[in-house]
Amino acid sequence: MSLPYFKQFEWDATIVAVDEKYGDVVQDDLLTESLPADLKIYKVNAFSKSITAKVGLGSLALRSLWPFLKKVNEILKKERFDLIYFSTTQFPLCILGAYWKKRFGVPYVIDMQDPWHSEYYQDKSKDQRPPKYWFSYRLHKFLEPIAMKAASGLISVSPDYISDLKNRYPSIKDIPSAVITFGAFEPDLKIANDNRHKFEPLLQTGFINIVYAGRGGMDMQKAVTPVFLALKKGLAEDAAVFSKLRFYFIGTSYAPAGTGKPTILPLAKKIGVDSQVVEITDRISYYHTLLTLQQADALFIPGSDDPKYTASKIYPYLMTGKPLMAIFNDRSNASGVIKACSNDAVLLTFEEDPGCLTDSIHQTLTNWAVGRLKPITLTAIFKNYSAEELTGRQVKLFERAIEYSSAGIITGVVKIK
């Protein structure tokens, strides 16, 4: 989303990425349609998962760490760069920044799209923890300080992620940082719609289809539970009307296709509304997601019970103009964004009285069930969250990181013009 705009801010980008054939995620060829034609892209290999999985190492970051090291070494020997920017949730790769900075004198910025090392699951039961949690927790706890202590700047989707890192590593408390989420890139909606024939329809006709596309997890159940309770209440009062509602939770697991564990449907079964709920654990592609959001009658965004969580990809939901209900922790910055950027969205928080919360949701579902589907409208503030605007904020952070490094606060860095 930033790549189409870097050049207008006088930055040239060179991309180094893992060749897509080594990933086990859904492929989406349309992702390249909006990229600049002259963009330079290097692709690296990765060790085969069929081999590394035998010793329990399936992580793409670990499988591609050595190929990344070799390729970027090769590039930095031939060309000179102002900055290295890590924008990935494959966080172990970020430790290479410290090596490249020491060897080639190039500062680096890390984009924290999610927490890397986190204590969130430490007090959770085994069934609530992600797969291989014992190993990943210790690996991240070891690798994170290697990457962070030499970083020249931080970008994050949440202010809490930045404050946690600066508190954890006092040596970076003064480095430049900024909260910058994923921007709104309107051309993507058109790309998705123009290519709708390429995607399998996921929504069933004849219902009021309410869609959430994104990860699931036990931490989402605090937001989902009152919705299901309100739905149960509606079905008991007027089954003919409320049976028209169908909730879709799509792409709720990060596991490879066909192996994801449902986390939403079991809750629906427990409450007794599973006939109205569809959970698709398999991830779908980015443009398939955008098309499905546009095909929905209404949209739902559940937040995490972790107050540091932010729904960093809320802008596509807003751009569709569909009726929207969102439930977040009151401390989540996503609430403020939705409130500032849209009119007529139903925005609720965990802090509300449980009875009042259920009643508010019940009223919203009643309106939707009888066809009162009021679209949201965007405010003028929404333009502040466009991909172009946020790219401008990114490059300002880049420039501050370079200046910070070249001022000698972080030694051994050469500023290149």
Residue 410 pLDDT: 41
Other beta carbons within 10 angstroms of residue 371's beta carbon come to 10
The mean pLDDT of 234-259, rounded to a whole number, is 92
Residue 334 pLDDT: 82
Residue 123 scores a pLDDT above 90:
no
What 8-state DSSP symbol labels residue 304? P
Written as one string, the DSSP assignment of 93-135 is: GGHHHHHHHHHH---EEEEESS-SS--TTTTS-GGGSPTTHHH
Residue 380 scores a pLDDT above 90:
yes
Please list, in sequence order, all residues whose beta carbon lies within 8 angstroms of the beta carbon of residue 408, skipping any fewer than 6 positions away.
none
d(CA 283, CA 251): 4
* Model confidence pLDDT, tens digit, residues 320-351: 999 999 999 887 878 888 999 999 999 999 88
* Model confidence pLDDT, tens digit, residues 10-57: 999 999 999 988 877 778 889 888 899 999 999 999 988 766 665 556
Residue 312 pLDDT: 66
Residue 78 pLDDT: 95
The mean pLDDT of 240-268, rounded to a whole number, is 92
* Model confidence pLDDT, tens digit, residues 398-414: 999 999 998 754 433 33
More confident residue, 323 or 253: 323
